[in-house]
């Protein structure tokens, strides 16, 4: 199989990031294409620059990397990682954490490119769960 866009899940909670990773794998994402970078270095609530940096490298298969943060400092830390190590094939994407990850993960598993995967994650903001 060809290179797929990698996905990094950045959450304040390690359990939340791992849970979303597990969900993506159940929906067809290859385990090596998704990384959970959740929690602080001591396993508590928080974010870790090093974990994010390692996760980006871990899932980089040559097709690009989408970084999906949950809130607050996860966004700031993820952006800082990519500012410190600039690359044209990685992006921090503003998307709902779970829905954006699912949209990105499903599309990435088809071999879609970086721009399409990032766009799918962003478009999850408009996806309705209940039609009235």
The token duo for 128 is 């309705």
Residues with a known catalytic role: 12
Whether 1 shows a pLDDT value over 80: the answer reads no
This prediction has a pTM of: 0.94
Angle at 48 between CA 46 and CA 54, to 5 degrees: 145
**34-73 residue pLDDT tens:** 999 999 988 899 999 999 999 999 999 999 999 999 999 9
Percent of the chain at pLDDT > 90 equals: 84
Burial 38-57 (b: 16+ CB within 10 A, else e): bbeeeeeebbbeebbbebbe
**The pLDDT of residue 2:** 80
Half-sphere exposure of 54 (CA within 13 A, CB side): 9
Q: What is the SS3 assignment for 94?
A: coil
Domains of the chain: 6-126 (3.40.50.510)
């Amino acid at each position: 199989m060809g290179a797929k866009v990698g996905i990094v899940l950045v959450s304040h909670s390690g359990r939340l990031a791992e849970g979303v990773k597990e969900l993506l794998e159940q929906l067809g994402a290859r385990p090596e294409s998704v990384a959970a970078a959740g929690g602080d270095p001591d396993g508590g609530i928080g974010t870790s620059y090093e974990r994010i940096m390692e996760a980006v490298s871990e899932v980089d298969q040559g097709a690009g990397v989408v970084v999906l943060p949950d809130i607050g400092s996860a966004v700031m830390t993820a952006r800082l990682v990519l500012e410190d190590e600039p690359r044209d094939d990685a992006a921090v994407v503003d998307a709902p954490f779970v829905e954006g990850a699912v949209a990105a993960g499903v599309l990435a598993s088809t071999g879609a490119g970086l721009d399409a995967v990032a766009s799918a994650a962003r478009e999850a903001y408009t996806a309705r769960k209940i039609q009235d």
